[in-house]
Amino acid sequence: MMSKIDEELAERAYKGKISKEDALLLLNTDPFELFRFADDLRYEVVGDIATYVVNRNINFTNRCIGRCGFCAFKDNNGYILTNKEILEKVEEAFKAGATEVCIQGGLLPNAGIELYTGILESVKEEYPSIHIHAFSPMEVYHAARTSELSIKQVLYELKKSGLGTMPGTAAEILCDHVRKELCPGKLLTAEWIDVVSSAHKAGIRTTATMMYGHIESWKDRIEHMMILRDLQENTGGFTEFVPLPFMPYNNPIGKRMIEEGRYATTGMDDLKVYALSRIIFYRSINNIQASWVKLGKKLAQVALYCGANDLGGTLMEESISAAAGATNGTSISAQELEWLIKGANRIPKQRTTLYEIDKTENSSLNNHPREAGNAVFYS
């Protein structure tokens, strides 16, 4: 194990140019050196502000024709929310000060584009100011095939109906040999890239995610992050990167892992993923989100010292991770997120989906290392 990071490698990292081999080498560095390096890069990019968003998750159905081996959410005798029920949830979110609703669901066999545009239009009609962050690339792909439309046409209709941004979920690991086993039937790597880059070109920004800790190797994780880096260099459409550790409970892949004596990811592995992602995305994706739902509140706080600068959302309601065995709760208050951030000696700031923050309350925030005195836009 290397106790120090090689100087030439560090230089390549500062240029945003580390290679897959460099990334693998970094994993052989003393983990605390790796964390410190990622933390330095985090400071260079976003300073000491750590952000969160006040939002609500709404999963409009848990029925799904998909066959993902990691999924504990799908239930073919499950529920489908009506637009009225969705609106009731949006109303609660709105009253609680949410700026964003995140709407996703399983794949219903006959779900055409009207299902998705109908949800967007009914929310926008009642709550025009709320930002709708909705529909995974898989849902966009599904709407295209059920409605016999192109991806571009679907994205156009969604945007016209009020879609603000999209979650970059369904990415799992962007290596087809992993996807064929992990999520057969889901869109392949090239198709995911096509949906996401088309969204960016249509002016719909997305997050980028990676679900890791199941059947993939470190090499696959690095390959995944390199694909995202290339895509961001082309489109600039990612707002953030969100590593999501796999939850091994109540799903076939997790069951098999546990039988083999493998459990969820270790905390050290999680922190290495955060650190490595900050180093790989240093010059491309500014925001790295630590998911308190997946990591737990305390490890998410520690991740703020390993490259992360955001703790995600208040959520108000979380069912996907909870179904897969996450025990970290389904809701968190803005106050508690601020408390966690202050406990890490960082400056808490509420942000919008697009990472806009109000800097006027504290002039010291204008001393942002990379964009000193600039507007509020991070990405």
Binding site for ligand SF4 (CB under 6 A): 64, 66, 68, 71, 73-74, 106-107, 138, 183
Burial class (CB in 10 A: 0-12, 13-18, 19+), 335: exposed
Complex with ligand SF4: residue 64 or 225, whichever CB lies closer? 64
Burial class (CB in 10 A: 0-12, 13-18, 19+), 97: exposed
Q: How far is the CB of 369 from ligand SF4 (least distance, A)?
A: 39
d(CA 84, CA 105): 16
Q: How far is the CB of 102 from ligand SF4 (least distance, A)?
A: 14
Q: Tell me, what amino acid is at 248?
A: P
- Tokens coding 374: 């600039």
Q: How far is the CB of 74 from ligand SF4 (least distance, A)?
A: 4
Q: Tell me, what amino acid is at 37?
A: F
Q: Measure CA 3 to chain center.
A: 31
Q: How far is the CB of 106 from ligand SF4 (least distance, A)?
A: 4
Complex with ligand SF4: residue 235 or 319, whichever CB lies closer? 319
Complex with ligand SF4: residue 183 or 308, whichever CB lies closer? 183
Q: Which one-letter DSSP state was computed for residue 40?
A: H
Question: How many alpha carbons fall within 13 Å on the CB side of residue 350?
Answer: 12
Complex with ligand SF4: residue 134 or 183, whichever CB lies closer? 183
Strands (E), 284-365: 310-313, 347-350
Complex with ligand SF4: residue 244 or 303, whichever CB lies closer? 244
Q: How far is the CB of 64 from ligand SF4 (least distance, A)?
A: 3
